[in-house]
Amino acid sequence: MPELTFQTFMDLAPFLLLVYLFFRKEKLFVTPHQLAEMKTEIIKEVSQNFLSLIVFKEFEKRMETNFENIDNRMEEGTERFNKIDQTLEHIVDLIIKKGK
């Protein structure tokens, strides 16, 4: 291995500079400050575009409550129709008895 002297460094300086500029241009290495900025940006974007788990759970709970209310109303409607049906049957029976 050749001895590393100042002259060797000066001979290799243009290549080292090119390598450094390539790495910098391609962003192969980043500083902790750049990582922190990117993390903040990602968190901000995620919070704007996605629901949090808490919000989703609240939405899910509201939907379940809505479906339960709809089911209860349907059962109440069915009970009312059954009462009307029984009343109509009773009326029909009375009409038939009077007709005889």
Query: Would you list the domain boundaries of the chain?
Result: 52-100
The average pLDDT across 6-13 equals: 89
Q: What is the pLDDT of residues 70-92, one digit of tens each?
A: 988 888 888 888 888 888 888 88
pTM for the predicted model, two decimal places: 0.39
Asked if residue 45 has pLDDT above 80, the reply is: yes
Q: Which residues contact 38 (CB under 8 A, 6 or more apart)?
A: 30
Q: For every residue of 64-100, which 3-state class applies, written as one string? A: HHHHHHHHHHHHHHHHHHHHHHHHHHHHHHHHHHHHC
